[in-house]
Amino acid sequence: MESDQPHSAEWSSLPDRRLVYEPCQEAIATLYTFLDGELTPERRDTIRHHLDECAPCFEAFGFEAELKALIARKCRDEVPAPLRRRVAEALRAEDVPS
């Protein structure tokens, strides 16, 4: 009789004895590299396919994506104009041949 559960070799145990499906571990382990666009197209496709099939991982990625976007919108410090000028001058000075 066929089972809907993955083969036992695809499951692993966390320290608190919860079983985690290996594709879920892989998806969560690559969460930030996925969100930052740092994966190869093949890896992105693999993770995206898993997310399409796994609601818990999809929710985790959605939460992290929203959090990252919120931080990007809200955590913007303006650099004072005098500091910008000093940095630009220092960079120009570095470009001048000796």
85 falls within a domain: yes
Residue 45 confidence (pLDDT)? 92
2 falls within a domain: no
59 falls within a domain: yes
37 falls within a domain: yes
Q: Is pLDDT above 60 for 15? A: no
How many domains, in total, are found in the chain? Answer: 1
What are the tens digits of pLDDT across the range 21-70?
677 888 888 888 888 889 899 989 988 888 898 888 888 888 988 988 88
16 falls within a domain: yes
Domain that holds residue 36: 8-95
pTM confidence score: 0.51
Q: Which residue has the higher pLDDT, 12 or 72?
A: 72
Shortest CA distance to 51 belongs to which of 60, 42, 64?
60
19 falls within a domain: yes
3 falls within a domain: no
CATH number at residue 39: 1.10.10
Counting beta carbons within 10 angstroms of the beta carbon of residue 89, is it exposed (0 to 12), middle (13 to 18) or buried (19 or more)? Answer: exposed
1 falls within a domain: no
